[in-house]
Amino acid sequence: RKEVEQDPGPFNVPEGATVAFNCTYSNSASQSFFWYRQDCRKEPKLLMSVYSSGNEDGRFTAQLNRASQYISLLIRDSKLSDSATYLCVVNKAAGNKLTFGGGTRVLVKP
């Protein structure tokens, strides 16, 4: 089983719709969770950290389910500019070694 697994997609989303996708992780000792965004031929950039209680940043909502070992990302009112690959990132244990999922590609269409 991979350490961090994501559905590669693509998720084809009509503009204005809501899309949600999950990421599962294998190490129950993981402590830090993030969603990064990567545009085509660009570097990854932090979208948001994921907190135990769940958190929201504008149209983006992240949730953490420790019991089932997954995190989720929900995008509301999708914009064309949301088209990107979303990378689930988990730290292996205490420390700064991050493990990246393979990414979920989202394509928002008019």
Partner 1 sequence: DTAVSQTPKYLVTQMGNDKSIKCEQNLGHDTMYWYKQDSKKFLKIMFSYNNKELIINETVPNRFSPKSPDKAHLNLHINSLELGDSAVYFCASSQVGGGFSYEQYFGPGTRLTVT
Which among 20, 73, 99 is positioned nearest to 64, based on CA atoms? Answer: 73
Q: Which of 75, 91, 106, 108 contacts partner 1 by CB under 8 A?
A: 91
Q: Does 9 bind partner 1 (CB under 8 A)?
A: no
Q: Does 95 bind partner 1 (CB under 8 A)?
A: yes
H/E run at residue 47: strand 44-50
Q: Compose the 18-37 pattern: x for residues touching partner 1 by CB under 8 A, - for all others.
A: -------------xx-x---
Spatial distance between the Cα atoms of 76 and 68, rounded to a whole number of angstroms? 24
Using CB under 8 A as the binding rule, whether residue 85 contacts partner 1 is answered as: yes
Q: What is the nearest approach in angstroms of partner 1 to the Cβ of residue 18?
A: 25
Distances (CA, A) of 22 to 25, 73, 95, 96: 10, 6, 24, 23
Does residue 53 touch partner 1 according to CB under 8 A? no
